[in-house]
Amino acid sequence: MKIVRRILIILFILGNAGLIYYYQTQIKEPPQTISEANVTIVKAIEQTEAQEHPDFIKEEYQLVLPEGENVALGKKITASSYTQVYNAPKAVDGSVDGASYWEGKSDYPNTLTVDLGAPSKIHAIRLALNPLPIWGKRTQTLAVNISKDGENYTELVGTKQYIFDPDYGNEVQISFHEVETQFVQLVITENSGAGGGQVAEFEVYSK
Ligand SMILES: [Ca+2]
C-alpha cells in the first residue's frame, strides 16, 4: 500500500508540474513595439498658471491702516459694563488675539470711552475684532461721541450698522473730518454676534 501511495503522490506532483509548464508556454508576451498607425497624439492644453474655478478663488484681504498714529494705544479706557474677564483695557492693549477684547453686557447702550490723555487732532477710528474665521461675520450698530472734558459729549458720527467680516479683516474703519478732542466714546446698541458690544482693539488715529 505504501508503494501505491508513493506512486500516487509522484503522479500528483508530475501532473501539477505538467499543468504549470502548459500554462507558462501558453502565456503570450505583449507586443514590444507599438505601431504608429495605432497611436493618436492629443496635444495637452497649454497651462501656464494654476486654474481654479472662480467661485473658489478667495481674494486676499490687504489691511490698510488709517494714516497717522493710533493715539488710543495703552490709554485710560472705561466701559459702561463688561462681561467676565473681557474688560475695557483689553480694547487698547495692542492685541486682537485670544481673550484680548472688551465685551459689554446686554444692557444697551454699551459705552466704551477712551481718554487720549490730552487734546488730540483725530481723523479716523478703527475697530478690530480677532480676524480668525472662528470670529464669524457679525454686525454692530454704534455711534461715536467726542468730548473735551469727559462729561459733555457731542455726536461725531451718527448711529450706523457696521459689518465685521473675517473675510475682510474683521475690522471697521470710520473716517471723518479732523477734529480736536480728548475723549472718544463708542455708543453700541446692537451686536448680532454676542449679547453685548465687542471690540478687540479701539484705535483712534492722529496725523
Ligand atoms: Ca485687545
- pLDDT computed for residue 189 by the predictor: 98
200 Cα–ligand 1 center, Å:
4
At 33 the pLDDT is: 74
Q: Where are the domains of the chain?
A: 66-206
Q: What is the pLDDT of residue 25?
A: 62
CA 101 to centroid of ligand 1, rounded, Å: 5
71 C-alpha to ligand 1 centroid (Å) = 15
Find the 44 Cα to ligand 1 centroid distance in Å.
Answer: 53
* Rounded distance between C-alpha atoms, residue 136 and residue 116, angstroms: 30
Over residues 37-62, the pLDDT tens digits come to: 777 777 776 766 666 676 776 678 89
Residue 84 to residue 33: CA distance in whole angstroms: 78
Q: Which three cell numbers stand for residue 192?
A: 448680532
- Hey, what amino acid is at 166? P
Residue 74 CA to ligand 1 centre (angstroms)? 10
Instruction: Output the pLDDT for position 12.
Output: 63
The ranges of the chain with pLDDT < 50 are none
pLDDT computed for residue 196 by the predictor: 98
Q: How far, in Å, from the CA of 48 to the mean position of ligand 1?
A: 44
Identify the pLDDT of residue 44.
74
Q: What DSSP designation does 108 have?
A: S
pLDDT score, position 26: 67
May I ask the CATH class of domain 66-206?
mainly beta
Q: How far is the CA of 177 from the centre of ligand 1 (A)?
A: 26
First to last CA, the chain: 113
Quote the ligand 1 centre to 134 CA distance (angstroms). 16
How far does the centroid of ligand 1 lie from the alpha carbon of residue 87, in Å? 10
- How far is ligand 1, taken at its centre, from the CA of residue 121, in Å? 23
State in Å: Cα 77 to ligand 1 middle: 12
Please tell me the distance from the alpha carbon of residue 190 to that of residue 192, in angstroms, as a whole number. 7
pTM: 0.73
pLDDT digits (tens, 9 = 90+) for 2-30: 776 776 666 666 666 656 666 666 666 66
